Structure formats: structure tokens, C-alpha cells
Amino acid sequence: MHGFIGEFFGTMILIILGCGACASVNLKQSYGRGSNWWYISISWGLAVTMGVYVAGFLGSQGHLNPAVTIPYAIFGLFPWHSVLPYLGGQFLGAFVGAIIVIIQFYPQFKVTKTPKEGNTVGIFATRPAIKSAPFNFLSEFIATFTFIFVLLNLGNFTSGLKPLMVGLVIAVIGTCLGSTTGFALNPARDWSPRLAYTVLPVPNKGKSEWSYAWVPMLGPLAGSLFACWVEQLAVI
């Protein structure tokens, strides 16, 4: 139960802060509107840091991400009996986090009338800068491989300054690799907020773009599995 609670609240904080930054940048009559890619990358990095601290304190390992939990279990780094509670906490926490962002920025959604003005699913989920399914998949694969390979070599990343290091890794991946697809790296971070945007009464909302959603689901999982495999070979 501690795993579910930690993952729920940690992922909720991740989405409140991360998607909050995206809303601030995109929506009209927000002081953050028009901020640059550094703003987004640093905000998401710090959002992960805060989420990991919360999750770790509440008794989980601070995964916040199915692309950590599932490959770690497959490669014997995490117990299978904890996988479903972790996944449940991650997806549900991300959904609740998105609800809170919608409430926080509701007046801004109301005055941002069209996708061209910034009211898009990109506030909550990832979208490619250039639509090219193979390269979009590869972008998520490479970015997540890089993230997980570093993570594997950090050891326990929930204590001391380790969560800050995880956040810095996310930020640098954002600035260096993330500008192609928006660096999902995390199926729960993409799918649950995308679902919230789809089913909840967000004023003036645009399309949810579910035809793209397989990329931030499968790309991160594949990249993480490959990272775990390479790490296993490297330590033999």
C-alpha cells in the first residue's frame, strides 16, 4: 500500500508542476506565456525532483513512471508483486494532477479560444515537432534509453541529493533531446493527462490526438528495456 500511496502522490505532484508549466507557457493571460524551451525543460526536471522526494518519503521507490517499473521488474530489479500498485498509483496520480491543473488554469482556458492561440492537448501530453512515426518513436526510445541508463547508475535515487540529480538528468534530456517530441519518457505522464483533457470539460479544448499516443507509450518502454539490457551486459 505504501508503494501505491507514494507513487500516487509523487506522480500527482509531477503532473501538477510539469503540466502547470506547460499551461503557463501556452495559455493567454498567463505571466509565463511565451517562455522558452529552457523554462519547460527546467520546470519538468524540478517537477520530477519534487515528485521523487514526495514518493520516497511516503514509502515508494519514486519511480513515477511505468517505463521504470515494468523494465525494472522484467530484469529482476523490482518485485513483480509491487508492479500493479505502482502502475495504479502512477496512472491515477497523473490523472488527478491533470484535474488540478485544469482547475488552476480554468480562467486561462476560457480566454484561450483556439488551438492556434495555445489551447491544445500539448499542455497535458506530448506532440511531435515533425510528424514522422518512425523517427518520433526513435526520439522517445533514445531519450528514454539515456534517462534510464543514467538512472540505473545512480542507485537509490530517493534520498539525499539524488532526486535533484534525477531532475537535472530530465532537464538536460529536455534541452538536448526533448525538442523533437516533447520528451514524454513516461507513459503515465502522457496517457493520463491526455485522457483528462479528453473526458473533462476543458473550455475551448482542441483534439486529443490519440493517434499519436502509442509513441509515448511504446517508445519509452522499449528504450527503458534496452537500457536495462545494456546495463546488465556492462556489469557482467
Q: 157-195, pLDDT tens digit by residue? A: 888 899 999 999 999 999 999 999 999 999 999 999 999
Domain that holds residue 159: 2-234
Residue 95 in contact with residue 193, Cβ under 8 Å?
yes
Per-residue pLDDT, 205:
94
**What single DSSP character describes residue 159?**
S
Q: Based on C-alpha coordinates, what's the Rg of the chain? A: 17
As a whole-number percent, the residues of the chain with pLDDT over 90 amount to 95
| CATH label of the domain that carries residue 88 | 1.20.1080.10
CB atoms within 10 A of CB 201: 8
Mean pLDDT of the chain: 96
Q: Which residue has the cell 502522457?
A: 190
> Looking at the 3D structure of the chain, how many domains does it have?
1
Write down the pTM of the prediction. 0.95
pLDDT band at 235 (very low <50, low <70, confident <90, very high): confident
The C-alpha cell of 96 is what? 488527478
Average pLDDT score over residue span 30-56: 96
- Mark out the alpha helices in the chain (DSSP H runs): 2-26, 37-57, 66-74, 83-104, 106-111, 133-152, 162-176, 187-199, 214-234
Residue 160 confidence (pLDDT): 87
For range 95-113, the mean pLDDT = 97
